[in-house]
């Protein structure tokens, strides 16, 4: 139980117990001295009982002051994991085949997206929130056998779906990653380009996720987010919110486009790590 108390409170309690013990001990010896008719009891050669009490009298208030200072320090430190101050959508867990609807390549202009991200033979790509693997397989063909695509998802069913798909399409350069909601768990210093395709609005703690992603990036890596404007819980999130949260995670906006789908709702953002 004491392990959960801040050190100043433990110190204060110890001082109180110590003072009570010393006072009782000294009073007992004074009583013995009076009964024996001896001179007033002194502690050491220089410090009298009154001086001794005056010295210990200040330890209590000092302990209280330390305890008071501890509280605002802890308050300023805040929680270890930042909590989101906006609403998010429930991650999709339905039929994954709906993401392979005919014409999606043209609507999202995915080849143009990959061009802007520098996805080419030999590159290493992370598809975060990979779902059915729709983008994963397209990126895998782009990077060829000399490159790698990490299909990252928190849904075990999605991971199994992509593994079956990669085997069926004979794409051996796809590596699946069953990640945690706030950590993509991609190998360190391994990624040239990242895409979160219609996924960002489902991330409960996006700033934490983006911070954890940084260690996986190579120098000059590009991080792209394609999403639609919304209030967070309607499977969309405001572009301004994404830019602000990315900045909090240590990224800067490099490019902003609205050509995906052409409906005026979707946006395509490219970030990079802020220079030190």
* Paired tokens of 162: 């992509």
Q: Where are the domains of the chain?
A: 2-77, 96-273
DSSP per position, 60-97: HHHHHHHHHHHHHHHHHH--SSPPPSS--PPPP-S-GG
Query: What local confidence, expressed as pLDDT, does residue 100 receive?
Result: 80
What pLDDT score does 129 carry? 95
Q: What is the value of pTM for the model shown?
A: 0.68
pLDDT at 88: 72
Fold observed for domain 96-273: Rossmann fold (3.40.50)
What is the predicted pLDDT for the residue at 154?
A: 95
Strand order in 174-178's β-sheet?
Answer: 174-178, 148-153, 124-128, 191-197, 217-228, 266-273, 251-257
Beta strand segments in the chain, E: 124-128, 148-153, 174-178, 191-197, 217-228, 251-257, 266-273
Q: State whether the Cα torsion 260-139-251-202 is positive or negative.
A: positive
Residuewise pLDDT in 10s, the chain (276 residues): 444 445 444 444 554 444 544 445 545 554 444 444 444 434 344 445 454 445 445 445 544 444 444 444 333 333 344 444 677 766 665 667 777 878 889 988 999 999 999 999 999 999 999 999 999 999 999 999 999 999 999 999 999 999 999 999 999 999 999 999 999 999 999 999 999 999 999 998 999 999 999 999 999 999 999 999 887 666 789 999 999 999 999 999 999 998 877 666 789 999 999 997
Burial class (CB in 10 A: 0-12, 13-18, 19+), 276: exposed
What pLDDT is recorded for position 260? 75
């Amino acid at each position: 139980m004491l392990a959960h108390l801040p050190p100043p409170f433990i110190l204060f309690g110890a001082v109180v117990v110590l003072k009570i013990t010393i006072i009782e001990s000294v009073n007992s010896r004074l009583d013995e001295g009076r009964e024996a008719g001896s001179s007033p009891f002194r502690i050491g050669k220089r410090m009298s009982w009154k001086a001794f009490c005056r010295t210990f009298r200040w330890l209590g208030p000092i302990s209280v002051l330390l305890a008071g200072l501890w509280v605002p320090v802890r308050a300023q430190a805040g929680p270890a994991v930042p909590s989101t101050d906006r609403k998010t959508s429930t991650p999709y867990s339905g039929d994954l085949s709906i993401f392979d609807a005919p014409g999606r390549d043209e609507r999202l202009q995915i080849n143009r997206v990959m061009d802007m991200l520098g996805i080419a033979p030999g590159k290493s790509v992370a598809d975060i929130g990979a779902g059915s693997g729709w983008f994963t397989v397209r990126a895998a063909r782009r990077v060829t056998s000399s490159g790698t695509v990490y299909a990252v998802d928190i849904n075990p069913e999605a991971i199994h779906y992509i593994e079956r798909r990669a085997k069926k399409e004979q794409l051996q350069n796809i590596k699946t990653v069953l990640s945690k909601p706030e950590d993509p768990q991609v190998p360190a210093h391994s990624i040239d380009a990242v895409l979160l395709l219609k996924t960002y609005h489902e991330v409960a703690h996006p700033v934490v996720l983006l911070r954890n992603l940084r260690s996986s990036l190579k120098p000059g890596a590009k991080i792209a987010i394609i999403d639609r404007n919304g209030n967070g819980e309607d499977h969309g999130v405001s572009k301004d919110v994404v830019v602000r949260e990315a900045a909090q995670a240590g990224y800067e906006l490099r490019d902003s486009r609205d050509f995906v789908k052409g409906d005026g709702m979707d946006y395509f953002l490219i970030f990079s790590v802020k220079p030190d």
